[in-house]
Structure 1
Amino acid sequence: MRHALILAAGLGERMRPLTTHTPKPLLEVHGKPLIVHHIEKLVAADVRYIVINTSHLAEQFPDVLGDGSHWGVRIRYSYEGPVPLETGGGMHKALPLLGPEPFLVVSADIWSEIDYATLPREPAGVAHLVMVGNPDFHPKGDFALEDGRLYEGDGPAGAERLTFGNVGVYRREIVENEVAGRFKLLPMYQRAIEAGRLSGEKYEGFWRNVGTPAQLDELRENLDSRRA
């Protein structure tokens, strides 16, 4: 994968007041903006073109990150306007910047030690999702995983119900025929599951959602203790 999309267009409402004047992806963790950790991991996985979708306080992203030359990559921005387009709409709008090949997508508001280089460059279906164990705030999970395939509900016997870790590899076709505008990606996942074209894998390493001030504090404390 040479292209990646970092989802950074959220309004950061649950992170207020920290996001009143700073977009959530630009909040610092260990001395650098959260989104920079993703950029560095993408560079390590040989990604050379990164698209960042923006909305809330969008002008701050190029001010902080520039064109990517600092990391040896090219960064382009997909501005969605004052109201974010949701994941599906945001991905659709960014397609002209992403090229024809499958691309990696990661949400800016997570932290993980996933090695992006280990993800498939060519998904077997329309997308390949990284799943994680169900966190306390999402105990019922999203999809069931069995033998590399994702299912709705409980899935077949022996399947494990897991939570989408907000990292995945996508083919353009998952959204390219949709009408431009604001829409969620969930219906596309559901159609892909029905067609047997949504694969996945379970990641069992360190992963955290960073959606609230408490979660941000917990991440910082956890990383401090791990490094100590």
Structure 2
Amino acid sequence: MSVSNSPNSIPCLLLAAGRGERMRPLTDELPKPLLTIKNKSLLAWHLEALSAADVENVVINHAWLGNKIEEALGNGSQFDLNITYSPEISALETAGGIRKALPLLNPSDYFLVINGDVFSPNLPLQGLLDQVSALRSMPNQPLAHLLMVPNPNQHPEGDFYLKDSKVTNEPLDGAEKLTFSGIGLYHQELFKDLELNVPSKLAPLLRVAMAKNRVSGEKYAGPWHDVGTPQRLQELNAAHE
């Protein structure tokens, strides 16, 4: 197991608890994040990128068929990572899942979260992790730093506005409305008031933090895909043959 001396080495949570209803029948017997592109599961793509970026500790939450995720990935040694699991009896939504996994993540402040069902080969994780020291040095420390992407065809209206490095829910002069990639850095303080084991969505927490000017972000124009339907999965596999 490699040991990183990087001051920006922080834990990562991979979100893998969703049922993947739109992916049925593919997800009837397999969790969505174990679906494969180029014979490699979506989770494996992330884990290889995390290992290359010197992240050491990874937590994966799961609910639907979670035992299959544990069987496939084990303790992470095949990726030179330490993997632990945060099982959910029923999915707790994004923020609820993060809240439940926090004791396993045990961050000093910031940690990384990646949606298990996005496909982003060549994801510049090192650049994102390098933001941590900058976030720590800010007087009004951001509670979240979001990777934003151009709006995909299936989500043309976008999510939030980005101007310079500020992310808001309200339009700003000169701001661009973009889609949240499902990849971000979070400060543990963002989740401090959430009740344990209660389903909670992430967007309302982010909007409250945005109103306090405590959400930053950056635009990523590289390859990124929300693998939301069997057709999209098929198209991605065809493109990577």
* 1:129 aligned onto 2:137: no
Q: Which residue does the alignment assign to 1:111?
A: 119
Q: Which residue does the alignment assign to 1:94?
A: 101
- Which 5+ residue runs of structure 1 have no aligned equivalent? none
The residue type paired with residue 172 of structure 1 is Q
Q: Which residue does the alignment assign to 2:191?
A: 175
The residue type paired with residue 92 of structure 2 is L
* SS of corresponding position for 1:205: coil
The residue type paired with residue 227 of structure 2 is V
TM superposition shift of 1:121:
1.9
Q: Which residue does the alignment assign to 1:18?
A: 26
* 1:152 aligned onto 2:161: no
Aligned length: 222
Q: Which residue does the alignment assign to 2:3?
A: none
* SS of corresponding position for 2:84: strand
In 2, distance between residues paired with 1:94 and 1:217? 32
TM superposition shift of 1:177:
2.0
What does residue range 213-228 of structure 1 map to in structure 2 within 5 Å?
A: 213-224=230-241
* SS of corresponding position for 1:59: helix
Q: Which residue does the alignment assign to 2:36?
A: 28
TM superposition shift of 1:64:
0.6
* SS of corresponding position for 1:204: coil
In 2, distance between residues paired with 1:178 and 1:149? 25
TM superposition shift of 1:190:
0.6
TM superposition shift of 1:3:
0.6
- Pick from 65, 74, 85 the counterpart of residue 77 of structure 1: 85
- Pick from 176, 194, 198 the counterpart of residue 211 of structure 2: 194
**Structure 1 contact 2–46 (Cα < 8 Å) conserved:** no
Identity between Structure 1 and Structure 2 (%)? 45
The residue type paired with residue 121 of structure 1 is V
TM superposition shift of 1:12:
0.8
TM superposition shift of 1:100:
2.6
- Which 5+ residue runs of structure 2 have no aligned equivalent? 1-8, 136-140
In 2, distance between residues paired with 1:97 and 1:61? 17
Q: Which residue does the alignment assign to 1:138?
A: 155
What TM-score do you get using the length of structure 2 for normalisation? Answer: 0.90
Superposed CA offset, 1:96-123 (max 9, x none):
0111331110001111132111011243
